[in-house]
Amino acid sequence: MHTRPSDSVLLSVTGRDGPDTTARLTGLLADAGAELLDVEQGVVQGLLTLALWVRLPEGARVGESLRALPELARELGVTVDVRAVPPAASPEPGPEPLRYVVTATGKALGVRDVHSLTRELAAGNARVERITRLSETPLAAVELHVTLPADADPTALKGALLALSMASPTFDVALQRESLYRRGKRMVVMDMDSTLIRIEVIDELARAYGVHSKVAAITERAMHGEMDYDESLRQRVALLAGLDARVLHDLAANLPLTEGAETLIRVLRRLGYRTAVISGGFSVAAEALQKRLGIDFAYSNALEVQDGKLTGRTVGTIVNARRKAELLETLAKQEGILLEQVIAVGDGANDLLMLEKAGLGIAFRAKPKLREAADTSISAGGLDTILTLLGLTARELREVG
């Protein structure tokens, strides 16, 4: 924050945007010996909004120092409002406000969406300092930089924004703490089933083997807390005993990707991110995706095969919720990446610990419980919405193909 001197003025410039508008205005100020204290400029549909806060030389009069300004403004086709900035009271220095970035995405953001969002921000005592458009036409993504009082509870604001996005099937709102690491992420770790792909592999295998109803019943019991994940996996896999392994390989060769998955991985690779699948699903599928998309690492459960048939058992340590979090931490350490620089994405309860371990945990098309626990969530958009949460604009995404 700047302290406001008594001899400062604010110039608010609006009108046609010309290639030399800012240059000529600042040239006039420079000739007047003005000291530039702050500047903000934006252009929307060829219309310029420019704010210049300057301090004039000691003893200078505004009218005399800027006598050429009216004629220059007419020549440039702009309107310039000049007003003295009164000296501010000198409050006792206090703690810095909390800084956050709110990202709103949708197929097309309407004025009602922006109104609903800014209304919730105002109700949460969040002050909007800057709004930036991330998308091109139509308006589909905006980023709002907001501040909260130092003693505010961001949890309440997060809850209000989550409720807002849950009320609309076409509108996602994400709240992130603004920090050095927000755009400094270096690794993205994803769940596989119902996240990177649109199906649950075990359900498809069970359906092919005629035991889907039995597998679904075990899944339902586990979801209600009647058994832990490890036991539910063992029981479900046991029902697949005798299934021809070719069914698994055929399924893995034709996995239906989630909307935006290919774009996400392609852009992340070109930007130098490390990518990983950490899944409670099966290795044949995870490794097929790794090869298909160029993912750096893949960790999942291995199904035992004998004589070309599934035995109904897994091999090695089961990748459960705790193991997922451990693998994320180990992988980040191995790659020399801070946890704050890791994004984790998942849809189920067994992804929660992994999401909590990462610097940014994203609940993707998840149940309400996980959405409430995660840092942020995506429900309306595809996986490529993650690129918007990184602050990448449509122009920047075009540059990387």
Could you give the CA distance from residue 400 to residue 396 in angstroms, rounded to a whole number?
7
Q: Is the pLDDT of residue 5 over 80?
A: no
Give the distance between the most distant pair of CA atoms in the chain. 95
CA dist 387 and 347 (Å) reads 18
List the strands of the sheet with 98-106, edge to edge.
Answer: 127-133, 141-148, 98-106, 171-177
Could you tell me which of 86, 34, 88, 87 has the C-alpha nearest to residue 62? 34
Which is catalytic among the residues 17, 193, 347, 375? Answer: 193
- Give the pLDDT mean for 86-104: 78
| Residues facing 302 on adjacent strands | 315
Nearest-angstrom CA–CA distance, 145 and 279 = 34
Each residue's pLDDT tens digit, 155-188: 999 999 999 988 888 889 999 999 888 888 999 9
Q: How confident is the model at residue 94 (pLDDT cuts 50, 70, 90)?
A: confident
Active site residue 151: no
Residue 191 known to be catalytic: yes
pLDDT digits (tens, 9 = 90+) for 109-139: 989 999 999 999 999 999 999 999 999 888 9
Rounded to the nearest integer, the mean pLDDT of the chain is 92
pTM confidence score: 0.86
User: Residue range 142-148: average pLDDT?
Assistant: 95
Active-site choice (113, 172, 191, 351):
191
